[in-house]
Chains A and B, each alone.
Chain A
Amino acid sequence: MASDYAIETSDLAKVYRSRWKRREVRAVDGISLNVARGSTFGLLGPNGAGKTTFVKMLLSAVHPTRGNALIFGRNAREPEARRPIGYLPENHRFPTYFTGTGMLDFYAALSGMESRERRKRIPEMLELVGLEQWGSVRIGKYSKGMLQRLGLAQALIHSPSMLILDEPTDGVDPVGRMQIREVLTRCEEKGVTIFINSHLLAEVELFCREVAILDKGKVALSGKMQDLTSGKGYRLTVGETPEALMEALRAKATSVASRNGFVDFQFATRQLANEAVDLLRAQRCEIESLAPTTSTLEEVFVRTVAK
């Protein structure tokens, strides 16, 4: 039963059919995705790309139309497959009659934790997310950011092997966001698989090592963050340059931009950048700077989704 993957899906699909109008919507359209144990994985996509449906199928809240999903080698439909998962849903609605402590106690009990263990873990979790003073307060009084941190504590309380987080920093202020990142980094160090579904590309770029971009229910792009965002070219910045030379450089560059009396040339390969340097030095022109550039995840995302 042991698997190298925390998540394995093959041809996973969900089609919503309207009973009367015979219309169908393919929310998820044959996704095959593997997430290695201990990795930090970001799932991205525009609104309606099928991210939340995909996550819900992993948790068996939505039944797939076809394909299957395995969690640590177990069929996701089995309740036992969800034991190693800590989940924080997007737009959660924790019952407001709970206190922070009561809420953690309830969800920990559902995860199978015994009373003694729960009593020990709850104060630790509240402290971990900076809510130690709020345990006895009804959660109806909590701010959105506090609810989010409490939700994270709920996901972590039973020491899961995998965290599935849907927009974990939604509504959280920058300090809170940093705290959440710190908590997640500690989990990563312990070997916990972290699967984040988020719109905040900068957050994902900062934290995740692997990423998949969904579009129209399919995986449009996936791979290691480093591979997707690195090695995209070289930026050469020059000062005063003769017009003829400018034309020659422009012909080699993928883009040209002027700023404060300098001109930035973007070259796709090292060879092209070197040829440009040779041309400039042959005419004794000054080079202000030369640096390799990387694409931001946002650029990769926009390029992928706009195709």
Chain B
Amino acid sequence: MKDSLTATVALIRDTFREALARKIFWGLFGLSTVMILFFLFLLRIDLMEGGVAFVSAFGRFNGTRDVDKLVRGVYGGIAAFLYTWGMFLAVFASAGLIPSVLEPGRIELLLSKPVSRTHILLGRYVGNVLVVSCNIIYLVLGVWIILGIKTGIWSPLFLVSIATTIFAFAVLLSVVILIGVLFESAALATMVASALMVMSIILAQTSFMLRLLSSEWSRQIWRTLYYSLPKIYDLGSMTLNAIQSRSFDGFMPIWTSALFAAVVLGCSLMIFARRDF
């Protein structure tokens, strides 16, 4: 058990070390800083006071209730933006970290150690999630502090986007791992993960599309795709609704996406365990 923990920590540390050496960690950190500085700039142009003035001019200003509503709207918009931004960046940045481990001359030595293949792949997966988590926490927390200082309203619900962004990234990373294990291609992994993100926007329009589709079998295909693929868009919507204190339709996007990730990760582990190197 102790040996296993030592090996896990070593694998996670190695992922961090590689992310640092490949400038992935600092790249993400730098871009997050740019984003935080951008919000700092917005603070200088008095976005909130302008917004309050706008509400007052075009309607009856209702004191703190309207400001609160406005702030929640701004918070939600920013969270949705950060969710999308963080997701794309994270997928692009981490796609190469799996194929690099499988390079000939490197993988043989890893496999010669008393560590199971499942352990090696999961160690890498967790390491990747942690690298991205550090940056997402930094980004969201940074923006939250700036908005809090500016508006005086500290919405803890904004921090929900940390959890949802990391979760959505973990789901997409399982796909990156599967493509990495199958084809050892970072570019292909990025393409597939990005395609899933875009598809999730289209598939999320289920109720509308089901009305448009004429045949039952095409509606069935649509439903199957919607329920089996990760719901990156829906997770973003859930985040937005949570921040704006609006109700949302259950936790289905979370558990179906988690199930998808578990199945894909399971397949990756199975393929990795059977491969010859």
Contacts and interface: CB of A to CB of B under 8 A. Distances in A.
A97 interface: yes
24 contacts: A56-B276, A59-B112, A61-B107, A61-B276, A62-B276, A63-B274, A79-B116, A82-B113, A87-B108, A89-B108, A91-B104, A91-B105, A93-B106, A94-B106, A95-B14, A97-B20, A97-B21, A97-B22, A102-B17, A107-B109, A107-B113, A110-B10, A110-B114, A112-B2
A79 B114 contact: yes
B7 A112 contact: yes
B112 A82 contact: yes
B105 A93 contact: yes
Nearest to B116: A79
A85 interface: yes
Contacts of A110: 7, 10-11, 110, 113-115
Interface string A33-56: 000000000000000000000001
A15 to B, nearest CB: 11
A113 B112 CA distance: 15
A106 B14 contact: yes
A279 interface: no
A92 B106 CA distance: 6
B216 interface: no
Contacts of A89: 105, 108-109, 112
A25 interface: no
Given A93-B103, A97-B17, A106-B14, A59 B6 contact: no
A240 interface: no
Contacts of A97: 17-18, 20-22
Given A112-B7, A113-B6, A93 B104 contact: yes
A114 interface: yes
Contacts of A106: 10, 13-14
A302 interface: no
A223 B103 CA distance: 36
Contact of B112 (A85, A93, A95, A102): A85
Interface string B1-28: 0110011011101100110111000000
A112 B114 contact: yes
Contacts of B11: 110
Contacts of B3: 112
Interface string A69-91: 00000000001111101010101
A21 to B, nearest CB: 18
A82 B3 CA distance: 13
A98 B17 contact: yes
Contacts of B18: 95, 97
B149 interface: no
Contacts of A109: 6-7, 9-10
Interface string A111-125: 111110000000000
Contacts of B100: 95
A97 B116 CA distance: 24
Interface residues on A, range: 35 or more
B277 interface: yes
A104 to B, nearest CB: 12
Nearest to A154: B109
Contacts of A226: none
Of B20, B103, B113, B274, most buried by chain A (CB within 10 Å of CB) is B113
A131 to B, nearest CB: 18
A114 B274 CA distance: 30
A60 interface: yes
A236 B112 CA distance: 52
B182 interface: no
Nearest to B19: A97
B18 to A, nearest CB: 6
Contacts of A93: 103-106
Contacts of B113: 82, 107, 110-111
B163 interface: no
B195 to A, nearest CB: 26
Contacts of A95: 14, 18, 21, 100, 106
B109 A112 contact: no
Given A87-B108, A93-B106, 9 more contacts: A61-B107, A61-B277, A87-B112, A93-B104, A98-B17, A110-B7, A110-B113, A112-B3, A154-B109
Nearest to A82: B114
**What are the 4 A-B residue pairs with the smallest beta carbon separation, nearest first?**
A97-B21, A93-B105, A112-B3, A109-B10
Contacts of B106: 92-95
Nearest to B106: A93
Nearest to B276: A62
A79 to B, nearest CB: 5
A263 to B, nearest CB: 53
A214 B107 CA distance: 25
B111 interface: yes
Contacts of B119: 79
A61 B14 contact: no
Contacts of A81: 114
Interface in B93-108: 100, 103-108
B63 to A, nearest CB: 57
